[in-house]
Structure formats: C-alpha cells, structure tokens
Amino acid sequence: MADQLLNERDIEFLLYEFLDTEQLLQRPRYREHSREIFDATLKTARTIADKYFANHNAKGDANEPSFDGETVHLIEETKQAWDAFAEAGFLAAHYDFNEGGLQLPEIILRASLATVSAANVASAGYPFLTLGAANLIHSFADEKLKAQFLPPMMDGRYAGTMALTEPDQGSSLADIRTSAEAAADGSYRIFGQKMFISGGDQSLTDNIAHMVLAKIKGAPPGVKGISLFLVPKFLLDENGEPDKRNDVKLAGLLHKMGYRNTTSTVLNFGEDRGAVGYLVGEPHKGLAYMFQMMNEARIGVGVGAAVLGYQGYNYSLQYARERPQGRLPSNRDPQSKQLPIIRHADVRRMLLMQKSYVEGGLALCFYASSLFEDQRTAETEEQRRNATALLNLLTPIVKSWPSKYCLKANELAIQVLGGAGYIREFPLEQLYRDNRLNPIHEGTEAIHGLDLLGRKVPADNMAGYGLLQCEMRNTLMQAKDIEALAPLAAALEDALEKLDVVTRSLFGQMQQDIDRGLANATLYLDVFGRVVVAWIWLRQALAAEGALSASVSMEEGNFYRGKVQAARFYIEWELPEIEAQVALLTSGNMLPFEMDESWF
Amino acid sequence: MADQLLNERDIEFLLYEFLDTEQLLQRPRYREHSREIFDATLKTARTIADKYFANHNAKGDANEPSFDGETVHLIEETKQAWDAFAEAGFLAAHYDFNEGGLQLPEIILRASLATVSAANVASAGYPFLTLGAANLIHSFADEKLKAQFLPPMMDGRYAGTMALTEPDQGSSLADIRTSAEAAADGSYRIFGQKMFISGGDQSLTDNIAHMVLAKIKGAPPGVKGISLFLVPKFLLDENGEPDKRNDVKLAGLLHKMGYRNTTSTVLNFGEDRGAVGYLVGEPHKGLAYMFQMMNEARIGVGVGAAVLGYQGYNYSLQYARERPQGRLPSNRDPQSKQLPIIRHADVRRMLLMQKSYVEGGLALCFYASSLFEDQRTAETEEQRRNATALLNLLTPIVKSWPSKYCLKANELAIQVLGGAGYIREFPLEQLYRDNRLNPIHEGTEAIHGLDLLGRKVPADNMAGYGLLQCEMRNTLMQAKDIEALAPLAAALEDALEKLDVVTRSLFGQMQQDIDRGLANATLYLDVFGRVVVAWIWLRQALAAEGALSASVSMEEGNFYRGKVQAARFYIEWELPEIEAQVALLTSGNMLPFEMDESWF
C-alpha cells in the first residue's frame, strides 16, 4: 500500500476550505465540540486505519474467508480491526451523548471512515454495514428491539447486515419472494433465500442482526408489500443474551473478484421451522425504511470508490517520482541519465487525470455528506428542506460518478506502473479488483440513471434541480471575478445550459413515450455527473485561488496550484466530452433501444 | 465460459465477406489449397480449443504455476493442450511444404489461433511465444542454429521465449544492461537479469530457446548496440539433444492479476560462469530483428484482447437473453411477468457497445493480418510495399485499440451480469483480469502513441498515411451510393478531415518543440484508432448491405442487420467523441505537460 492513507492536507482542505465544517460548531448539537475534537477524531481514525486495517489489506485478499460447513473463518487480524474500531467508539460516534454516542457530525465520521476504507475496504465492510443496520433500528424499530439490539451494535458485540437481494432478483425489489408469517407471540417466521449478503456470516461478533426485506402473507404486490424485519443470527434468551441459533443458515460463500475479506453469502431463512423475525416499524413500509439505509450506503459506496482510487493515485504518484525510465523525445543521447517517469507527458496526464477523479470524487462525497448533516441540523427548516432536496437529487451521482471514474483512476494507476501494476507483488491490481464492485452494488449505473432522470430531477417540480442550478450559478458569479477562473466559469456556464437543454428535451421525450424517453438515462447520468463534478472542481479552485491571493508558503502554494490545475484539467479535458453526449440525447438517438434482439 | 468460442458465422463473414480470403487461392503459394482446407483448419483449431484449452481455463486461473526451487509445476491439462496444439501441426502450419510446414496463409493461422486464445489465453501463451521465437530463428539465424532448434520448435519438443525486459527497464530498451562476451568457440557468454519473461520456465518441453537481447562488450550505446542471442535452457550434446543445464536460472515467478497459467518469470543469466548464447544474425542488429517478432506479437496482442472481449460479449449476451428481471418503465404492474434483461434499454446499450468493440476489434486485427499476408505474397512489388506501409502505420492501433476497448467490453460484460459478473463462480471477472494485461505488454498505450505520431505517420513522407486515406476514400465512395450508409459515410468523411487537420497541426507543433508536440500523442492514438475502426465498421456494413440486397434467409438477414446496426452505433455514438479530442489537440492544450511535479 502507498505510504500514506489519502492525503491529510487534502482532507483538511476539503473539510475546512472547500467546505466550512467549522461553522457546524455554532449549531446547538455541536456546541460542546471544537475543531480540536474534530481533528483528534480524524487522527484516531488514521491511527486505527494504519495499525489495524492497512496491516492486513493484502493478506485478507490472499486469504479470503472460508466456510467449513459450520464456521466461517477469517484471518485473525480482521477481528483485531473490528475490535479496535469498536473500542474507539466509531460504531456509536454519531449518536447523541444521551444515547451513549459522541454526538459527532456526519462529515467528521464520514472523513474518519474514508480513512479506514482507504486502508482496507474489505475489513471496513463489517463495521460499515453494522453502522447502517443500527441506524435503521435506531430510526424505525420499537423501544424493545432498540434496547435489545442497539447497545451491543454500538459497542461491537453484534454486527448487522442488509439483506435485500435474492437469487432471482437483484435490481427488481418488487419481485422479492422472501415471505413472513405472523406468529402467535407477535414475531414473524421468515422463509426465503437471500444472496450477495455482505457480512452475512463471520466469526467476529456474538450475534448478527440481519435487516431483511420480506413480504407478509397477503401483502399488496410489488414494492408496496415489502416489510422490514430484524432477523438475528442467534435468538436472545430472557436476559437478552444470544442463545439458540435462529433458523438462518449459511448456504455458502461467494467468491468475489475483490473485496475478498468481506464475506459475501447466500443465506437460507426458515429451512426448518421458520426464522424468527421482528417487524421493524409498520408493515409494508419496509422499502421506504430501507431507502434511508441505502441512501447512506450510497454515499458510502461513493466514498469507498473515491478512496480506492485515491490510494491508487498515491501509489502511482510515488512510483512515478521514483522510477527512472527513458528520456524526453528531444534527448537522443542514450548515455544521458534516465528520467523519473513523472517527467513523461503521458504519465503526467495519467496522474493528473487520476487526481481530477479521486480528489473530485472525494470532494463530491464530502459535499453530499455536508448536505446529509444540513438536512438534520441546519438552522432553519428551509435550509434543512433544501439540503434534503439537493441530497436526494445528487445521491445517484454521488454513488455512480466515483464508482465509474475512480475505478478508471485505478486502471490508470496500473498503467503508470506498467507490468508492475499487473502483478500481485504490487498493491494496484487489488485496488482495481476491490473497486470494480462499486459500480454494481447499491444499484448499478443503469438503476441510478433511471432514478435520476425518472424520479430525482422531476421530483417536487424540479425543486432539487432548481436549487442545484442556484448553487452552481452562485459559484459561477464568484469565479467570473477571478481572472484565472473566468474561462473555467464560462465553460461551466455553457455546460449548465446544455444540461438544461438536454433535461427539457428528455422530459419531452418521456412525455411522448416513457420507455424511449428513459432509454438513454445512463448517458444522461454521465452528463449530469460531469457537470456536477466540474462545478465541484470550480469550487475547489475558488477556495485555492482565495488562499493563493494571500501569502502562502511554497509548499502550500504548490498544493493550491495543483488544485487549480486539476480544476482546469477537468473542465478543459473532461467536461467537453458532454457535447457529443448531449447531441445524442437531444436528438433522441435510440440506436441501442432499437437494436432488435435477433440482430445480436 | 460461454457455450461458444467466438462466433463461427462472424469468423466466416470476416474472412470471406469483409475480407476476400478466397482470392489467396490464386496466389502461387496457395495453389494447392482450397476453401475446404482453410475451413478444415479452422475446424481443427476449434476442436482443439474446445477440448484441450477451454477445459482448464478456469482451473489454470485458480491453480497458477508454482515453483519449488527446482521445478515449475503447471496443471497437467496445460501439457495436454500444448501437445494437442503441436500434434495438429499449428507450430509449423505457416512454413512452406518443403520446410515441413503446411504452407497456410497467415490469416487462416491467425483465425485459428484466435479461437485457441478465446478458449484459454494463458495456456495459449506457450505455443504463441514459441511461434514468434521460431520465426525469429527462421528469419535470421544461421543454418546450424536453424537445424538445431527449428525442427524441435516446429514439432513441439522445444518452446521459445522473448527475453527483452529487465528489472530496471521495461519500455526503454536503449538502457538494457544484459551483456554478452565472445567466447573462444564463437559462442557468447551472457550475463544479466530479465524480468516479466512469459514462459521463461515451464514443465512442458524438453528445452526452451530464449531469444535474448543483450549488448556485446564495447557495442555502441543505446539501441544501436543491441544484439540478439539464442540462449537455450539446456545445452545440446553432440547429437543435438538437450544435455546439461545452461547457466540460466529461474529466480522466481511473478504473480499476475490474470493470464495466470502463463508463467511470468525473473531469469538470471550467467550467475555462475556465464550463460552460453548464440548470436542470431549480425551483431548490433538485434532490435531490428526483434521488431519483426514484436510486430507479429502486437497483432497477436490485438487479437488476444479482441477475443477475450468477444468471449465476455458472448457470455453476457447469453445471460441477458435468459435472465428475467424487472419490467419496462411503462409497465407499472408488479404482478406481470418479468422480462429477460436484454429487453432493458441500458442492457442493450452495453451489449451493442460490446458488439461494436469486439467485432470491430477482431475485424481490425484480421485486416492487419491480411496486410501481413499481402506484404509477403501479393502479386506485385508495389502491392507488397503498400501492404508493408499500411501495416507499419496501423500496428500501433492494431495493438492498442482492441487492448483498450475490448477491455472496456469486458467491464461492460461484468456490468450486464451485475453481482454475478463480480464473482468467480461466473467466467467474466477472469476475462477482465486476463485482458487487463493487453494494454501493458508489447508496448503500453503511451509507447504506441509516440510510435504512431512520432514515427509511423511521418514515415516515408507519410506514405502509409496516404495509402490509408486512399483506402478509406475508396470505402466512402462505395458507401455513399447506398442509402442506408450514406449518412455514415458522411460522418466518416468529416472525421477523416478532422484527422487530417489534427495531424498537420501536430506536425507543426512537433517542429516547434518535439517534446510538446508529442506530449498528447496518446490522445492522438485514440482519435486515430476511432477513425480507423469507424472505417472498419463501414466496410463491414458495406459487405452486409451487399448481402442484404440479395435474398437471404431470416437468420442471415438478422446477422447482417446486426452488422449494420453496430456500424451505425459505432459511427453515431462512438466516433463523435473525437471532436472534443481534436479540439484539445489542435489547440495545443498542454495542461498535463505543464503540470509541475511539485503540484501533485
């Protein structure tokens, strides 16, 4: 692994210069906090990431979990990592003081988790899933379930999972078949099979709380009949301690390309007499509840993708600085000293492209995280409502853009190393294999394209879309006044208009024929993502130019100039690719849709 | 693996409709052949591929070669595959009858090898490398070496390798350090270390002929001082049989992301008293000789990339036809039957995109293979010279374009399967891992960009470039007369003009400053590749439209309509992306080049 996890200076920039995280301290929830506490939290996360997660990232990949028919075996470092994470309080950090938490803001937790993911995304899977499951219980379960399951999930005795997918349905939740029958004691009996359940079994915790989507017998068809159940691995005895095995069986482990140290499982519920499950919240509202978890998880996927890209960037940058090879074309003297490969134009292109993807991706995720915070703790109701509208709009992009482009960053990092990038003796090929999951889980690109164009943009009379336009125009106004940024602002303004034209054109097409109108939604997602990330980069450049206008050290100056150059690169090299895409979309080019199946 | 290797109908189309392979029968070298012999050869290759290569593609990946300090162990199926390939005569098929060969044309051999690669690219590595090494010996070695090494390489008793790369140099051959000292008996003693040597050791053959680049003491610096040596693993006794070990030691195996069943080795030459090597050809001409092998190998890499993409396309297409999931957006009835996912617009896009990449890539490689044939056996000297000029120009594209886009096809195939694409229980993730090597070996994309813009396009007063323009304009003329193709021809004509503008602009930039002028050569390679493949697709569409103008069966009609639709897709969806690239190139945008190292 690269010597550093992410880039401390960049995290600081994103939190305190690109975003204004310090202003959170003025909000009532954070009055007892300080910048020092935030920074100490980040430092703790970095220490744990370094010591307990980075140490077995490669080992966990080479020695993936195994199942002997009884027990799942993980390399022992996984348990040490889990314990260290729990002991540092990160499983409870975002809850209020009076709930036993540290009352930390979302963005500080998110930045902390980012560092842990950067160290070892697979071992980070267990605590991350547990955080999500606990949040669901916290938000929707009754007091009894909360009392039974939340405390041990907050201190690391229990873990949690998210059990949605079934063998016959992945993307189409309407068609899940897992069923629930009411039992006399008010609990339910769950029957069905779930697949691709991450962390579905392990040897880390005393119990696992599976958050299972199932349909109560007689429920309405489709997504309106889905309920959410907590199905524990072990049933609790009268003292609330794990006792007998519930009727949940591990049918087997799946063997992934990457993310290997996170178990991926097939679980059978109710093979014998029915798995005992407890209804969470009201019947038939399971999907809405699950979406809370999914939306958080989707930001998590974006961050995961960004940090895997970031680690590849770090490593390939370090390699390019150190590896001598070849000379400039102008130098024809084979006896002259070879240059470090960072001096070659194409290596620089690959590094700058990676920088624009990974720092752009992480900035996008952190921005989303700030919206997540604002929707809960911003001062006015309007601010909170606006944050929700913006976050809902941006979630498909926050999930999909880093998953696509930070994966591409990993490909570029491999390419910088050449043959060394292709062998397991170097860390890059694992990063790529790990990252390849991100465009798939928590909704494929296609799903998010449909969500963006079909739901999120039109939602509430385009409220979120309108807000985003305002935010962007606000940035444009500021950037236009700065000489170095004015051309970038002009390019983004032009792109913004194109996005508007294409959006309205697609709405027209959707009104005529919804299937055709949505046929190119993935392309629209890509256009939208590029425009948003161009804006994120312009905002970073604005912060950097602001800092450069004062007197800064040479090192600081270099950092800020790198930000400005990456913003220029993104806007001059990447953003213009939307033109061809916009032309296809507005002309209603339906070639793929019109490809007859028999022609393949 | 997908049920089928490549697509027999498509291979037939490429050989006999897109290309006119049958006209080879009129050339003196092939007078004793017939279409039936060609087809029987292809069928033999398919049988061997199916029976001896496809059978252990996954197994060889899961059980990679190991080295116990003495011997390299391969799964036994590898040896059976090697033997079957050799016994069928494919190691000798392209040599003349009087040399013990089958006097087969390059294109038939190439298509045969393509099928074998599709079945198992890693196990195919051993015979492919042997073919290349034997060709070098055949072309440049003296009669004694030929007599000693060619026959056993043609019948499968010996294998060959290509030993260029060293730990401290991969792309910069000028800097190799392996040295050669003349010995009293006329042989040489070789000292040095080579790395990433594929097939550098194995347990398949009685001997291995390493084709080693080294510098004779006192040779000129740089590439002008490189000589080529044959360094056998075992020295031959007086009867010409393998006897004592030469001083070539396997320092260790490298562990690749994919292509696992091909050993990748570090070899130490001359640790003890010097490895015995035999000069091939004249001193200091090694690089020129090696380039013959490399140019063949580069077409081979293109084919390998294309067929790995093809197998992913086949599998994901089959999966998409069979896997039910979800409904069209217009269908809001959750109780209605789910559709096979091929009915979803974005799945069709991913399939059509794959089709355009893999069939386009394979057609490009087969076209190059026909040029390779023409440069040897075309009737007139002018035809042969023109074929050489065109092939030299196109080699960087034939190597790089499939490596980039057919890898992307594998990514798309994974995405079509979703979670199933990500697990080793399905064949797609291996295809991706295997294919990731192709943009790296035999020259990275950057190397080929520099080669294309810096050498191949300007070569001989742009002779190859001029010929390509003529070929393309010839296709345009024909396409313009066909209603369905006229718009595609217009788009390609426009692109051709853009390519011309950008080429002349870059030449101007190179004259001013060669380092800056070549800085964006990789981007130029991509533009050039897209234009060439658009032309390849238009040529395929022309052949298809020609066939459709006669009466054809429904099945045949569907095949041809698929070709036309894929051509339209490539030209309408992919080609326009050059516009933004051309704008960057002609404006001389140097952002990556100008990124200071200290700003990263």
DSSP string covering A221-236 = SGGGGEEEEEEESEEE
* Residue A195: Cβ-neighbour burial (10 angstroms; 0-12, 13-18, 19+): buried
What average pLDDT does this structure show over A481-510? 98
Tell me: the pLDDT tens digits for B36-73? 999 999 999 999 999 999 999 999 999 999 999 999 99
Q: Where is A587: in which H helix or E strand?
A: none
Alpha carbon of A243: minimum distance to chain B alpha carbons (Å): 34
Average pLDDT over chain A reads 97
Alpha helices in A120-188 (DSSP H): 125-140, 143-155
Distance of CA B209 to the CA centre of its chain: 22
Our CA-based measurement puts residue A46 at a distance from the nearest CA of chain B, in whole angstroms, of 22
Q: Answer whether A419 sits within 8 Å of B196, measured CB to CB.
A: yes
| Residues 392-451 (A) with a CB less than 8 A from some CB of B | 411, 414-415, 418-419, 421-425, 429, 432-433, 436-437, 439-441, 444-446, 449-450
- Contacts (Cβ under 8 Å, ≥6 apart) of B40: none
Predicted confidence at residue B128, as pLDDT, reads 97
Confidence (pLDDT) at A170: 80
E-strand ranges in B220-376 read: 226-232, 234-236, 242-245, 248-254, 264-269, 275-280
pLDDT of residue B2: 47
What values do phi and psi take at B281, rounded to 5? 70, -150
Is A282 in CB contact (< 8 Å) with chain B? no
Distance from CA of B144 to the nearest CA of A (A): 34
In which element (H, E) is residue A495 found?
A: helix A486-512
Which residue among B196, B572, B576 places its CB closest to the CB of A591?
B572
pLDDT band at A3 (very low <50, low <70, confident <90, very high): low
Cβ of B147 under 8 Å from any chain A Cβ?
no
pLDDT the model gives residue A1: 43
- So what's the pLDDT on residue A508? 98
Model-level ipTM above the cut of 0.95: yes
pLDDT at B3: 66
- Please report the pLDDT score of residue A293 as a whole number: 83
Mutant choice from A426, A450, A600 vs B, greatest count of B C-beta within 10 A: A600
A275 beta partners: A190
The residue in chain B having the minimum alpha-carbon distance to the alpha carbon of residue A320 is B597
Say whether A325 and B171 touch across the interface (CB within 8 A): yes
Q: What is the 3-state secondary structure (H, E, C) of B262-278?
A: CCEEEEEECCCCCEEEE
Q: What digits encode the pLDDT tens for the residues B512-523?
A: 999 999 999 999
Q: Which residues of B touch A491 (CB under 8 A)?
A: none
Query: Do B302 and B401 contact (CB within 8 A), yes or no?
Result: yes
Q: Which of B359, B429, B442, B574 is catalytic?
A: B442
Q: pLDDT over 70 for what percent of chain A?
A: 100
> Which helix (DSSP H) or strand (DSSP E) does residue A595 occupy?
none
Q: Is the pLDDT of residue A168 over 90?
A: no
Helix (H, G, I), strand (E, B) or coil at B143: helix
Residues 9-68 on B with a CB inside 8 Å of A are: none
Which among A257, A578, A594 is the top mutation candidate for probing chain B, defined by the most B β-carbons within 10 Å of its own β-carbon? Answer: A257
- Stretch A20-41: mean pLDDT: 97
Q: Is the separation of the CB atoms in B135 and B290 below 8 Å?
A: no
Which of B253, B255, B257 to probe by mutation at the A interface, max A CB count within 10 Å?
A: B257
Q: Which residues of chain A does B396 touch, with a Cβ-Cβ cutoff of 8 Å?
A: none
Q: What are phi and psi of B242, to 5 degrees?
A: -60, 135
Nearest to A255 among B324, B421, B423 (CB): B423
Cβ <8 Å between B577 and A580: yes
CA dist B323 → A162, A167, A264, B67 (Å): 24, 11, 21, 42
Q: Tokens representing A106?
A: 């979302």
In this predicted model, what pLDDT tens digit does every residue of B13-34 receive, in sequence order? 999 999 999 999 999 999 999 9
In chain A, which residues have their Cβ closer than 8 Å to the Cβ of B195? 419
A583 to chain B: which residues are within 8 Å by CB? 576
Across the interface, do A415 and B522 touch by the CB < 8 Å criterion? no
Minimal Cα distance from B317: which residue of A? Answer: A600
Strand partners, B277: B188
CB contact under 8 A, B433 and A257: yes
Phi, psi of B227 (to 5 degrees): -115, 165
Instruction: Tell which A residues from 553 to 582 touch B, by Cβ distance under 8 Å.
Output: 558-559, 561-562, 565, 568-569, 572-573, 576-577, 579-580
Across the interface, of B342, B572, B598, the residue whose CB is closest to A558 is: B598
Give the minimum alpha-carbon distance from B38 to chain A in angstroms, rounded to a whole number. 26
pLDDT digits (tens, 9 = 90+) for A355-375: 999 999 999 999 999 999 999
Q: What token pair was written down for A211?
A: 């958050």
Chain A contact for B338 (CB, 8 A cutoff): yes
Beta strands B207-216; B158-163: pairing state: parallel
Q: What is the DSSP letter of A30?
A: G
B584 has a chain A CB within 8 A of its CB:
yes
Q: How far is A441 from chain B (nearest CA, A)?
A: 7
CB-based contact B255 A580, cutoff 8 Å? no
Mean pLDDT of A39-48: 98
- CA–CA distance, B177 with B191 (Å, rounded to integer): 9
Select from A346, A422, A454 the Cβ nearest to the Cβ of B449: A346
Helix (H) or strand (E) holding B479: helix B459-480
Q: Which of B437, B589, B593 is facing A348, going by the closest CB pair?
A: B593
pLDDT the model gives residue B231? 98
Interface probe for B, chosen from A327, A333, A336, A599 (most Cβ of B below 10 Å), is A599
φ/ψ (deg, to 5) at B489: -65, -40
With H, G, I as helix, E, B as strand and everything else as coil, classify residue B203. Answer: coil
CB B154 within 8 A of CB B134: yes
Question: Which among A171, A418, A592 has the least Cβ separation from residue B418?
Answer: A171
Q: How far is A180 from chain B (nearest CA, A)?
A: 19
Distance, CA of A388 to CA of A472 (rounded, Å): 17
Domain extents in chain A: 445-600
Low-confidence ranges of chain B (pLDDT < 70): 1-3
pLDDT at A583 over 70: yes
Which of B405, B416, B422, B587 is the best mutation test for A, with the most CBs of A within 10 A?
A: B422
What element of type H or E holds A198? strand A188-198
pLDDT digits (tens, 9 = 90+) for A295-316: 889 999 999 999 999 999 999 9
A257 CB burial (10 A radius; 0-12, 13-18, 19+): buried
Which residues of A have a catalytic role annotated? Answer: 442
- How many residues are recorded in chain A? 600
Q: Which residues contact B279 (CB under 8 A, 6 or more apart)?
A: B180, B187, B188, B227, B228, B229
Active site residue B271: no
pLDDT confidence of residue B4:
86
Whether A129 contacts A158, CB under 8 Å: no
